[in-house]
Amino acid sequence: MTEHAAYIYLDHAATSWPKPDSVIDAVAETMRLYSANPGRGSHAMAVQASRILFNGRKQLAKLLNIANPNDIAFTHNTTMGLNMAIKGFVKPGDHVITSSIEHNSVRRPLYNLEQKGIEVTYIDADERGNYNLDQLKASMKSNTTLVVVNHSSNLLGTIMPIKEISEIVHQHDAKLLVDGAQSVGIIPIDVQQLGIDMLAFPGHKGLLGPQGTGALYISPEIDLQPLMQGGTGSQSEAPHQPLVRPDRYEAGTQNTAGIAGLTAGVAYIQKQGVDQIYRHEWELSQRLLEGLMGIDGVQCLGPALGEPRTGIVSFYVPHIDPSEMAFILDQHYHIAVRSGFHCTPTAHAAAGTNERGAVRASVGVQTTVKDIDALVFAVKEIIEQY
């Protein structure tokens, strides 16, 4: 591995790196001092482990304006949260609406349900990822129960009009599930103001926590059928899963150390300010877009220069395979990006890159102007020498 100081990491949409020291310290301290099983004992270490989980919920609730921290269920990742929400909510005879630019963590669970008779409608997005609100209105049916949409495309960086989508959804007495994989910790989110009924998100991306952490917010108006059943440390005498939250959705031992790290990541984000983080990442994405657009042969995806977007900039060069471009950037320039289809083939179809995919560069809180300029220089040099 190239040394940290010499390595430029531009793959934050996959996972954030490096983690803040406070995150690493929180994980290490918990593993050294409080690695008892939370909720499974009354001794001091078990009680402290339970406090770590509750404090994590409380800080997430504060960040997202969630009234009751117990409406937050910890998960291993966004994918788990989306599966919990979709499979726990949708019933036979239901109609679900999603978009053509969703991640496979939405597309595949819905495909699985389609094979069992659930009807799914896909709302079109244009090549820049803009959501078709008129088509959403026209697609709502009497049996439409759930609309699923990502807050920001993991390929295009497009930010979806969640408030407007929510208003349409609720006018038809349906519920809104938002995939926050690319937005939580990056875009200011108020679940009550935006009208979000369920929000699945990772701990390891915008929140800067460890991998293997995440959460699902579930509105108190919704009772999901649990994806898993098992030990919760509460109501152990009952054969059924407890009804009380969050136990209903958290069977088995939780990742206490990981959640301690996630909580430290949330504190780091709150200190920086999500507004400031978005501004920083947007400015870097604009610099990258402008630099790449100035290179002959480079085609950039997503919103145009000057428009809102998250810190994701995907691009391609027609005569260079994206995987080869990423390989050269890594091996010769020590720049980490991602290439391929990014687990969202339908978004590539919308963008017109479904044959070979694209190169994706994504910035984070510690990305610098120097990092951006190094990538632009490298891409220009690769094209000139190819």
DSSP state of 302: S
* 353 phi, psi to nearest 5 deg: -120, 30
Task: Please give the structure tokens belonging to residue 306.
Answer: 């000057």
Q: Which residues contact 265 (CB under 8 A, 6 or more apart)?
A: 19, 20, 22, 23, 185, 203, 207, 208, 209
Helix or strand run (H / E) with residue 172: none
**Catalytic pick from 120, 222, 343, 374?**
343
Mark whether 300 is an active-site residue. no
* Whether the Cβ atoms of residue 311 and residue 205 lie closer than 8 Å to each other: no
Cα angle vertex 146, ends 145, 147, to 5°? 140
CB atoms within 10 A of CB 15: 16
Backbone angles phi, psi at 348, to 5 degrees: -65, -35
Dist. CA 36–CA 50, nearest whole Å: 9
User: Which residues pair with residue 97 across a beta bridge?
Assistant: 121, 147
Cβ contacts of residue 290 below 8 Å, gap of 6+? Answer: 305
- Round to whole Å and give the CA distance between 367 and 385: 27
**Range list of H helices, 273-358:** 274-293, 322-333, 345-351
Active-site amino acid positions: 343
